[in-house]
Each structure stands twice: as structure tokens, then as C-alpha cells.
Amino acid sequence: MIFLIGFLSGIVSGMGIGGGTIMIPALVFFAGTPQQIAQSVNLLFFIPTAIMAITVHIKNKNIDFKLAIPIIIAGLVGAYFGSQLAISLPGLTLKKWFGFFLLGMGLYEMFRGFKKRS
């Protein structure tokens, strides 16, 4: 089951969708993993995926480093504080917030798709 979850997450991640949308719920519901552990596994899973993506984008000269550096620094600071918040929240609360996040992103993508077609 763990292999299948990782395999499907890798396929979805390679398509640019984000493997966490598959991996986190699958680990929580099918593998019985606590929410904090599932989210930390997802973050570790993201590292090699991100390295591959950034390598391709640097090679293709798709990165404006003057724009990217401040975003990277702000992202690292936000990641630190976000991880501290996630550790301090009870698993059920974190699970609910993650569910709201997925719902919000799904609605955003759905309505963005409707706008593109019109």
C-alpha cells in the first residue's frame, strides 16, 4: 500500500499537480499515519521532486533569480513558522485545516478552469 501511494503521488507530482494532494490523504486514511507524520513525509517526498524540477528550469533558463531569491527567503521563513504551528496543533485540527485547504484549492482550480474556457 505504501509503495502504491508513493508511486501514484510521484506520477501526479511529475504532472505538476502536486503529489501531496494524493499522498497526505492516502497515508492518513489507508495507512493509518498521523496527520503530522503524513505531512512531514510529503515534505520529504517533495525534496527530490523539487531538485529535478529546478534543474530542468535552470537548464532551460526559466528562472529570474532576482525575483526568485526574495521569494525563496520568504518561503523558508514561512515554512519554519508553518512547521512550528503544525507541530503545536492537535492532529484532528490539522486534518480539518488541510481539508479546508484542499477544498479551497479545488474550488479555485475549478473556477479558474471555467474562466479559461469562457
| Short-list 82, 73, 13, 81, CA closest to 47 | 13
- Residue 118: predicted pLDDT: 62
- Residue 60: predicted pLDDT: 94
Q: Mean pLDDT, the chain, as a whole number?
A: 85
Which range has the worst mean pLDDT, 31-35, 46-50, 57-61, 64-68? 46-50
Query: Is pLDDT of 59 > 90?
Result: yes
**pLDDT band at residue 76 under the 50/70/90 scheme:** very high
- Is the pTM higher than 0.75? The answer reads no
- Residue 23: predicted pLDDT: 84
Q: How far is the CA of 36 from the CAs of 2, 57, 82, 117, in angstroms?
A: 17, 31, 12, 38
